[in-house]
Amino acid sequence: MSRFRKDRVAELIHQVIADLIVSKIKDPRVQGVTVTEVLLSADLKSARVYYCSLTGGEAAAHQKGLEAAEGFIRRQLRMELDLKYIPQLSFFYDTAFDNSARINRILKDLAVPAKEDD
What values do phi and psi take at 100, rounded to 5?
-65, -45
CA distances from 50 to 10, 11, 45, 88, 118 (A): 12, 12, 17, 14, 53
What confidence tens digit (pLDDT) does each residue in 62-88 have? 999 999 999 999 999 999 998 889 999
What confidence tens digit (pLDDT) does each residue in 1-28 have? 678 889 999 999 999 999 999 999 999 9
| Arithmetic mean of pLDDT over the chain | 88
The type of residue at 6 is K
- Taken in order of first residue, the domains within the chain and their CATH numbers are 3-110 (3.30.300.20)
Model confidence at 114: pLDDT above 80: no
